[in-house]
Amino acid sequence: MTTNNEVRSNWAPRFFTLWTGQALSLIGSRAAQFALIWWMVETTGSVAVLATASLFAYLPDVFLGPFIGALVDRWNRRVVMIVADTTVALASAWLAYLFWVDSVTVWHVYAINIISSLGRNFQAYAMIASTSLMVPERHLSRVQGANETLNGILNIGGPPLGALLLAILPYHAIMELDVATAAFAIVPLFFIAVPQPAKKTTDTVSGSSLIVEVRRGISYMWSWQGLRYLVMIGASTNFFFNASIAIIPLLVTEHFKGDAIALGWLNSGFGIGVIAGGVALTIWGGFHKRILTILTGQVMAGLGFLLVGVAPEEAFWLAWGGMLLSGVASGSVNGSFKALIQARVPPDLQGRVFSTHNSAVQATTVLGLVTITPVTAFLGIRSWFLAGGIFATLLSFVAFFMSSIVKIESRSAPHNRT
């Protein structure tokens, strides 16, 4: 039996073999997602259909995330990843068949979005919760920086790749390509050990119910004051940040009088920033105290958002710079936060902590999407960026003076309690 120390002693080849396989699989998935979006646009031309498809992808995150995290903490994580990746691949294979026989409907896409969201959630939480058992603590920030870099590259390169494939391949072939790239993620899992956490802080061995385990994960996060406040700050600022995606096209066309190319430039600014922030974190590793990297990045994100809001019509470059700054901040904040959790939270609770945090963020995103239309209709599109930028910047400055947050890494985590 392979021990955690043995895995860590030769960690880089093992971990990055898995990581590279997952990255290649994600490339295929992003191209397939773009193809599905374009198919819905061509077939229906309906904003409601696109919004509903996105909603079906979000709902598992919001309502099932903590339960998925609890199951990841309970089950063998390597098996979870194998089953999750295989399930998503089979769903794509089913859709490829439906495209081949010309029988696809919008409801099929909705169903695929739910299945894929569930599978990717299981896979993502199992992988991120296993990382702290495979990677030495001093390298966690750099690994998360590499993850953020990958996300930035996928955000920039996924749509053009999907468009290129649509120009040369039919829809069923793109779905088949997604199935083929999934093999890069699945096959290495059969040969590389993924260590399991010691069951110390849960009662799974004594048969505690799933509800009890979910409550224990939420209780752990809530009872740790610094972590609780940090999650609340992240969720509340994402109320503005994530929902803004819905109005950026209108900001470009109505305020800056731009076209599709201008929209592409603005989106690319954020993506380039995420890559830059991820690369910087990978090379530099962040401040010795990860919380300083997180809070500094939060301030930068708020200022970047504010720049987008204050940019006059003739200063599109200022808005682009604001998106770039926000992207750099996003890459450093997200990577450092994940590394902090991996370093400070017991491994057998990480699935629940990560999933509960993500559910909170996605819930405020949904709330923001519901709120953004009436607010911007009454106050104007730029008001959302101005309010979000001011709120995030001030809240982040306040956090620098909150002892429970600033000293989160030097204080012991709370004992887990139900």
Q: Residue 191 corresponds to which tokens in the numbers above?
A: 């040969």
Span of 156-160, 175-179, 253-257, 316-320 with lowest mean pLDDT? 156-160
Q: Which residue has the higher pLDDT, 253 or 281?
A: 281
* pLDDT tens per residue, range 369-380: 778 878 888 898
232's CB contacts (< 8 A; 6+ apart) are 360
Contacts of 318 (CB under 8 A, 6+ apart): 307, 310, 311, 312
Mean pLDDT throughout 17-29? Answer: 91
14-44 burial, b at 16+ Cβ within 10 Å, e below that, comes to bbeebbebbbbbbbbbbbbbbbbbbbbeeee
| Closest to 241 in 3D by CA, of 296, 309, 295, 294 | 309
Look at the chain and report how many structural domains it folds into: 2
3-state secondary structure of 209: coil
- 220 and 182 in a common domain: no
Q: With respect to residue 314, please indicate whether it lies within any of the assigned structural domains.
A: yes
pLDDT in tens, 198-218: 765 444 444 468 888 888 888
Residue 94: C-alpha distances to residues 1, 165, 217 (Å): 37, 19, 35
Q: Identify the band that residue 317 occupies on the pLDDT scale cut at 50, 70 and 90.
A: very high
275 CB burial (10 A radius; 0-12, 13-18, 19+): buried
What percent of the chain is modeled with pLDDT above 70? Answer: 92
pLDDT at 222 over 80: yes
CA angle (344 as vertex; 343, 348 as ends), nearest 5: 90
Using the predicted structure, report yes or no on whether residue 66 has a pLDDT greater than 70: yes
Q: What are phi and psi of 313, to 5 degrees?
A: -55, -40
What integer pLDDT is reported at residue 90 of this predicted model? Answer: 95
**pLDDT mean over 155-179:** 86
Q: Residue 39's pLDDT is what?
A: 87
State mean pLDDT over 289-312: 94
Q: What is the pLDDT of residue 254?
A: 84
What mean pLDDT comes out for the span 44-66?
75
22 within some domain: yes
Q: How far apart are CA 232 and CA 396, in angstroms?
A: 11
Within-domain flag for 412:
no
- Does the pLDDT value for residue 144 go beyond 60? yes
176 pLDDT higher than 60? yes
Residue 66 lies inside a defined structural domain of this protein? yes
Express each pLDDT in 351-370 by its tens digit. 889 888 888 888 888 888 77
Q: Given this model, what pLDDT does residue 244 score?
A: 83
Assigned domain for 20 exists: yes
Alpha helices, H only, 224-289: 225-241, 248-250, 260-284
Task: Mark 334-352 as b/e (b = at least 16 C-beta within 10 Å).
Answer: bbbbbbbbbebbbbbbbbb
Tokens found for residue 332: 């450093």
DSSP classification of residue 391: H
Is pLDDT of 10 > 80? Answer: no
How is residue 402 annotated by DSSP? -
Is 315 within 8 Å of 40 (Cβ atoms)? no
- What confidence score (pLDDT) does residue 25 get? 92
pLDDT, position 58 = 75
Q: What are the percentages of helix, strand and coil residues in the chain, rounded to 5?
A: 85, 0, 15
Q: What is the mean pLDDT of residues 379-403?
A: 93
Is the Cβ–Cβ distance between 356 and 69 less than 8 Å? yes
Look at residue 217 in the predicted model and tell me its pLDDT.
85
Question: Of 196, 229, 263, which marks where a domain is finished?
Answer: 196
CA nearest 146: which of 28, 277, 267, 44?
277
Query: Residue 417 domain-assigned?
Result: no
Domain containing residue 48: CATH number: 1.20.1250.20
166/282 same-domain check: no
Stretch 111-136: mean pLDDT, rounded?
90
Domain boundary at 196, 222, 241, which?
196
Lowest-confidence segment of 27-36, 113-122, 259-268 by average pLDDT: 259-268
Does residue 113 sit within a domain?
yes
Given a cut of 50, is residue 390 above it in pLDDT? yes
Shared domain for 179 and 228, answered yes or no, is no
Residue found by looking up tokens 């021990």 in the block: 3
Token representation of residue 344 = 């400070």
% residues pLDDT > 90 (the chain):
38
* Two tokens, residue 285: 């590793």
* 105 plus 220 within the same structural domain: no
Q: Domain check: are 187 and 267 in the same one?
A: no
pLDDT at 202: 46
69 and 175 assigned to the same domain: yes
Q: Binning pLDDT at 50, 70 and 90, where does residue 9 land?
A: low
Same domain, 191 and 243: no
* Better pLDDT: 337 or 414: 337
Phi, psi of 361 (to 5 degrees): -65, -45
Confidence of residue 271 (pLDDT cuts 50, 70, 90): confident
Q: Check whether residue 42 and residue 178 sit in a common domain.
A: yes
Q: Is the pLDDT of residue 102 over 80?
A: yes
- In contact, 384 and 76? CB cutoff 8 Å: no
- Residue 232's pLDDT is 92
CB 95 within 8 A of CB 112: yes
Rounded to whole angstroms, how far apart are CA atoms 50 and 35?
A: 13
pLDDT band of 1, cuts 50, 70, 90: very low
Q: Which residues of 285-351 form beta strands (DSSP E)? A: none
Per the structure, the complete domain to which residue 360 belongs is given by 214-406
- Contacts for 312 with CB less than 8 Å, ≥ 6 apart: 318
Residue 58 domain-assigned? yes
Do 262 and 186 fall within a single domain? no
For residues 104 and 244, membership in a common domain is answered with no
Tell me, yes or no, whether 225 and 181 share the same domain: no
Q: Give SS3 for 271.
A: helix
Where is the domain boundary, 196, 224, 244? 196
Q: Which residues of 380-396 are buried (b: 16+ CB within 10 A; e: fewer)?
A: ebbebbbbbbbbbbebb
Q: Which of 62-71, 261-270, 300-309 has the lowest mean pLDDT?
A: 261-270
User: Are 30 and 154 in the same domain?
Assistant: yes
For every residue of 41-107, DSSP letters joined together read: HHHH--HHHHHHHHHHHHHIIIIIHHHHHHHHHHS-HHHHHHHHHHHHHHHHHHHHHHHHTT---HH
What per-residue confidence (pLDDT) applies to 250?
78
pLDDT at 8: 56
Question: What are the backbone angles phi and psi of residue 102, rounded to the nearest 5°?
Answer: 60, 50
More confident residue, 315 or 166: 315
Count of C-beta atoms within a 10 Å radius of residue 287:
15
Q: Is the pLDDT of residue 392 over 70?
A: yes
User: Mean pLDDT over residues 164-173, rounded?
Assistant: 89
Query: Where residue 418 falls among pLDDT bands split at 50, 70, 90?
Result: very low
DSSP-derived letter for residue 286 is -
